[in-house]
Chain A
Amino acid sequence: MIGPFRFVLTLGPRTDLARTPIVVAVAILEQATGVGLAILLGLFSEAASRHATSTVLVLSLCLAVFVMLTQGTFIAGYFTRLRLSEEIQNEVERRFIDVAGTTPTLEIHESPGRAGRVAAVRAGRADLREGFDRVLWLTGAVLVWVSSALLMASVVPILAVLPLFAVPVLLATRRADRARAAAVERTASRTRLAEHLFTLATTAGPGRETRLFGLAGELRRRHREQWDRSGRDIVVAELRSRTPLALAWVLFVLAYATGIVLMVRAGLTGDASLGLIIAAIAVSSQVVGQAQALLSQIFWVFESVRAARVFLEVVAEGAAERAAVVPVSPAAVPSRLERGITLEGLGFRYWNRDRPSLHGVDLELPAGAVVALVGENGAGKSTLVKLLCGLYRPGAGRVLVDGTDLAEFAPERWRARVTAAFQDPYHLEMSLGDSVGLGSLEHGDDAERILEALRTAGGTRLLDSLPEGLRTRLGRASWDGKGLSGGQWQTVANARAAMRPEPLLRVLDEPTASLDARAEEWLFEQYAGLGRSRGGVTVLVTHRLTTAQAADLIVVLDRGRVAEVGTHAALSRSGGLYAELFRLQARYFT
Chain B
Amino acid sequence: MVSRGVVVIEDGRIIEDGPHEALIEAGGRYAELFRLQAKRFQEASP
Known contacts being A516-B33, A546-B37, A589-B38, is A582 close to B44, with CB within 8 Å? Answer: yes
Interface membership of A211, Cβ < 8 A: no
Taken residue by residue from 569 to 590, chain A's Cβ proximity to chain B (1 for < 8 Å, 0 otherwise) reads as 1001100000000100110111
The answer to whether A546 and B40 touch across the interface, beta carbons within 8 angstroms, is: yes
- Set of chain B residues within 8 Å of A588, measured between Cβ atoms: 1
- Residues A585 and B33 in contact, CB atoms below 8 Å apart: no
A31 to B31 alpha-carbon distance, docked (Å): 81
Query: Residues of B contacting A516 with CB < 8 Å?
Result: 33
Binary interface profile of B, 33-44, with partner A (CB < 8 Å = 1, else 0)?
110111011101
**In B1-46, which residues have CB < 8 Å from any A CB?**
1, 32-34, 36-38, 40-42, 44-46
Closest B residue by C-beta to A516: B33
Measured CA separation A521–B41 after assembly (Å): 13
How many residues of A are counted as interface, with CB atoms below 8 angstroms from the partner's CB atoms? 19
* Interface contact B44-A549, CB-CB below 8 Å: yes
Q: Is A568 an interface residue (CB 8 A)?
A: yes
What distance in Å separates the Cβ of B19 from its nearest Cβ neighbour in chain A? 15
Q: Main SS of chain A's interface residues?
A: helix
Contacts of A569 in B (CB 8 A): 46
Chain B: CB-nearest residue to A521: B36
Residues of chain B within 8 A of A589, CB atoms compared? 37-38, 41-42
Let me know if A353 is at the binding interface, CB within 8 A: no
B-chain residues with CB within 8 Å of residue A572 when the two chains form the complex: 44, 46
Residues on the B chain within 8 Å of A547, using CB:
40
Instruction: Give which listed residue, A521, A573, A582, A590, contacts B42 with CB less than 8 A.
Output: A590
Name the A residues within 8 Å of B33 (CB-CB). Answer: 516-518
Q: When chains A and B are docked, how far (Å) is the Cα of A590 from the Cα of B39?
A: 9
Nearest-CB residue, chain A, relative to B33: A517
Chain A contacts for B44, CB-based, 8 A: 546, 549, 568, 572, 582, 586
Report chain A residues within 8 Å CB of B37: 517, 520, 546, 589
List residues of chain B with CB within 8 A of the CB of A518: 32-33, 36
Q: How far is the CA of A568 from the CA of B43 in the complex (A)?
A: 11
The closest CB in chain A to the CB of B36 belongs to A517
In the assembled complex, the Cα of A67 lies from the Cα of B12 at a distance in Å of 71
- Provided the pairs A516-B33, A518-B36, A521-B36 are in contact, do residues A546 and B46 lie with their beta carbons within 8 angstroms? no
Given contacts A546-B44, A549-B44, A572-B46, are A590 and B36 in contact (CB under 8 A)?
no
Name which residue of chain A comes closest to B2, CB basis: A588
Task: Note all chain A residues with C-beta closer than 8 A to B41.
Answer: 546, 585-586, 589-590
Greatest chain A CB density within 10 A among B34, B41, B42, B46 is at B41
CB-based contact A590/B46 at 8 Å: no
**Shortest beta-carbon distance from B6 to chain A in Å:** 13
CA distance A568 to B40 in the complex (A): 12
Complex Cα distance A19/B41, Å?
70
B38 → chain A, closest Cβ, in Å? 4
CB distance from B42 to the nearest CB of A (A): 6
Query: How far apart are the CA atoms of A521 and B42 in the complex, in Å?
Result: 15
A568 to B33, CA, bound (A): 24
- Measured between beta carbons, the chain B residues less than 8 angstroms from A568 are 44
Task: Take A569-B46, A590-B45 as given contacts and tell me if A549 and B1 are in contact as well, using a CB distance cutoff of 8 Å.
Answer: no
What are the nearest 9 A-B pairs in CB distance?
Answer: A546-B40, A589-B38, A589-B41, A517-B33, A586-B41, A517-B36, A549-B44, A517-B37, A521-B36
* Listed A/B pairs (25) with beta-carbon separation below 8 Å: A517-B33, A517-B34, A517-B36, A518-B32, A520-B37, A521-B36, A546-B37, A546-B40, A547-B40, A549-B40, A550-B40, A568-B44, A572-B44, A573-B46, A582-B44, A586-B41, A586-B44, A586-B45, A589-B37, A589-B38, A589-B41, A590-B38, A590-B41, A590-B42, A590-B45
